Amino acid sequence: MLRGFATVNLFADDLAATLDRLLAMGAEEHQGIVDRGGNGFVTASVVDPFGNVLGIMTNPHYLEVLASARPS
């Protein structure tokens, strides 16, 4: 049974493959792949064997921010 929780979304280069891998490792799907607005921000989440919710996402804006934060 899930209770109140926070989900942290970790970046995945290939969201579908990462979701498949987590499920193969014993996680249960919490929420399938969801497009969050048509701008490339896509999420999914699983519940691990200990009851923790793990979110995964892909987001072009995140990659732009990450690239701009790197020293030249």
Contact 5, 53 (CB under 8 A): yes
The pairing of beta strand 28-35 with beta strand 42-47: antiparallel
Contact 55, 42 (CB under 8 A): no
In sequence order, the β-bridge partners of residue 57 are 11, 43
pLDDT single digits (tens) 53-70 = 999 999 888 878 888 887
Which residue's entry shows tokens 């579908």?
16
Question: CB count, 10 Å around CB of 44?
Answer: 23
pLDDT single digits (tens) 18-54 = 999 999 999 999 999 999 998 889 999 999 888 889 9
